[in-house]
Amino acid sequence: MLKLAPSILAADFSKLAEEVQCVEQLGADYIHIDVMDGHFVPNITLGPGLIKCLRPHTSLPFDVHLMIENPDLFIQDFKEAGADIITVHVEACRHLHRTLQLIKQNGMACGVVLNPHTPLEMIKHVLHEVDWVLIMSVNPGFGGQTFIPEALNKIAILNEWRKKLELSFLIEVDGGVNEQTARLCEEAGADVVVAGSAVFNAPNRRVAIEQIKG
Ligand SMILES: O=C(CO)[C@@H](O)[C@H](O)COP(=O)(O)O
């Protein structure tokens, strides 16, 4: 069964604590938190302060997706706020290996994210360092976009590499995930999917979560 990380980007920000408790009770496995800085992506969301406020309201691991430049400057702040997993964009890290080490030194699981246009070859030499690889199936910055099918090919190739190299990182997929695209991701080899609109805007969240997880 796929694991599900609902993205709070699509939740009601005026009652975030209730929103995370709702999806926790309905079977979510992680809480996906999209951090955007208005530079790496054309949108601004939230930071460590809000994550710290949310931390006491759920026991689910916080999967923090940093869509920011210079992530090294903020790794310790996110740790102190309560992040469990931090994923950073290969496109935003000048010294990716160093950034991954820094996340691990701060006691968190580390992951690397690839934009839709970025080839898998960019992360080949850090695969042995990561706990997660996040494949973007939309261009980052906004929720509610359409799934880019080419992501499936990337997931399948990455899954093959993982087997061949006998590694155990998780493959996560983010963007345009719904009941249908979740099945395609699962078939291609994904372990975790992120879903914002398909969970928080669903007429029945319980059904949506069950259907996405499969
Ligand atoms: O990182 C991002 C967007 O940059 C995603 O996490 C979105 O928040 C997913 O939203 P949906 O496509 O599921 O609505």
Domain ranges of the chain: 3-213
Task: Using the CB atoms, write b or e for 40-67: b if 16+ within 10 Å.
Answer: bbeeebbbbebbeebbeebebbbbbbbb
Q: Is 131 a catalytic residue?
A: no
The per-residue pLDDT for 107 is 98
Task: Give the integer Cα–Cα distance in Å for 1 and 213.
Answer: 6
Ligand 1 atom having least distance to the Cα of 136: 1
Q: Give the pLDDT confidence of 101-157 residue by residue, as tens digits.
A: 999 999 999 999 999 999 999 999 999 999 999 999 999 999 999 999 999 999 999
Q: Is 174 a catalytic residue?
A: yes
pLDDT band at 183 (very low <50, low <70, confident <90, very high): very high
Percentage above 70 pLDDT, the chain: 100
Tell me which residues have their CB closer than 6 angstroms to ligand 1: 7, 9-10, 32, 34, 65, 138, 140-145, 174-177, 194-198
How far, in Å, from the CA of 157 to the mean position of ligand 1?
23
The per-residue pLDDT for 165 is 98
Place of tokens 């209730």: 18
Q: Give the pLDDT confidence of 43-87 residue by residue, as tens digits.
A: 999 999 999 999 999 999 999 999 999 999 999 999 999 999 999
How far, in Å, from the CA of 164 to the mean position of ligand 1?
30
Task: Give the integer Cα–Cα distance in Å for 213 and 207.
Answer: 10
CATH for 3-213 is: 3.20.20.70
Ligand 1 atom having least distance to the Cα of 195: 13
Quick check: 172 and 134 in contact, CB under 8 A?
A: yes
ipTM greater than 0.95: yes
How far, in Å, from the CA of 110 to the mean position of ligand 1?
19
